[in-house]
Structure 1
Amino acid sequence: MKRWLAAIPVAVLLIFSVLAANQLMNPEKGDFERVLRDAPGTTFETMDGQKIQFAPSPTGGAVAVNLFASWCGPCEAEHKYIMALSEAHPGQVFGVLYKDKISAGQEFLDRLGNPYTQVALDPDGQGGLEFGLTGVPETFVISPAGDIILHIDGPLNESSAKKIGEALESAPPN
């Protein structure tokens, strides 16, 4: 009778281990992500030779920053949503050309349309790393103070574009 009492702690430990392993192997999206963090203070050169920073916001209001590349298929697929955001929120949508040649990025924008107020260049990918980029495309909404208030990883869809629009409306440009 006393032997089965010794099995109880072992069974509890086994159940806990299985649950913990399951959680580690299948975390909910965003479990390991900070909700609010600073946008990088990096100064980017733009396609037109100017300089731009995203912390604090370059417009004085909330801005969306979309990291994209001409070689990225999902970037092309999401482009219609970026165009719609730019039309609905003029002056609030910026692009970062990630690890790409200026000529290829310009060709991409000439072919699909340029929704961006300005396009920053990130030829070595360091700026993307400072944003917290895990892979293009990704879109970040930055508050007037320079905090990342929304991060959409992967290509935009109707739902994520709506979230970005709502975040941009929270602090329009001056």
Structure 2
Amino acid sequence: MKRWQAILPLAALVGLGTLGAIQLMRPAEDSFTAKADRIAPATVFPLLSDESQTISFAPPPVDKPVMVNLFASWCAPCRAEHPDVTALAESHPGQVYGLAYKDRTEDTLGFLGELGNPFEKIGVDASGQGGLEFGLTGVPETFVISPDGKIILHVRGPLDAERRKQVSEALEG
């Protein structure tokens, strides 16, 4: 076998690996937000403030679109997006909810005590199953749910100014 024939498969593998790495390092911006048209899970979550009470988001607890932000105290991007979540809560009172994902209650309370609590109510998803039912790929993620219980926007990763604008527009209906 000639030397170039032996090198050809290796060169092809390196080329494909390089293209894959480039795609992972520079994904299309719209891959972080998605219009969704699926029903929010009917999962019932205990409230952080009082675990004897519960909340569900299908349908939302109010008769207008709501934002559900899945976050955790151990999540650095959650800390970074917190000012954007707070800004949304200020501009859309009563429409911003939280879901503490795989976090201990005392850690969540410490996180919110330090940064402020922008949420109308906070559900607790200690096992992480509820997040999976939403379609969570990793915290933080934000879902906007219509009054009839459909997920109309799914934002993967931390909010920033552009994504906050998209969420705000979805909350306005």
- From 54, 78, 84, give the equivalent of 2:87: 84
For the pair 1:39 / 2:62, whether they are aligned, the reply is no
- Name the aligned partner's letter for residue 88 of structure 2: L
TM-score between the two structures when normalised by the length of structure 2: 0.80
2:40, 2:140 → 1: CA distance?
A: 17
Aligned to 2:8: none
Shift of 1:34: 7.4
- Name the aligned partner's letter for residue 81 of structure 1: D
- Name the aligned partner's letter for residue 91 of structure 2: A
Q: Deviations over 1:103-151 (max 9, x none)?
A: 0000000000000000100000000000000000000000000000000
2:70, 2:143 → 1: CA distance?
A: 8
Aligned to 1:6: none
- Name the aligned partner's letter for residue 98 of structure 1: Y
Aligned to 1:108: 111
Q: Deviations over 1:49-92 (max 9, x none)?
A: 22111001111110000000000000000000000000000000
User: Aligned with 2:88: secondary structure?
Assistant: helix
2:43, 2:49 → 1: CA distance?
A: 17
Report 1:2-151 matches (<5 A). 30=31, 35-49=36-50, 50-151=53-154
In terms of Rg, which structure is larger? 1
CA RMSD in angstroms, aligned pairs only:
2.1
Aligned to 1:155: 158
Shift of 1:35: 2.9
Unaligned runs of 5+ in 2: 1-18
2:63, 2:106 → 1: CA distance?
A: 30
1:35, 1:47 → 2: CA distance?
A: 27
Identity over aligned pairs, percent: 53
Contact 2:35 2:152 in 1 (8 A): no
Q: Deviations over 1:137-168 (max 9, x none)?
A: 00000000000000000000000001101110
TM-score between the two structures when normalised by the length of structure 1: 0.79
Shift of 1:36: 1.1
Unaligned runs of 5+ in 1: 1-21
Contact 2:66 2:144 in 1 (8 A): yes
Shift of 1:48: 1.8
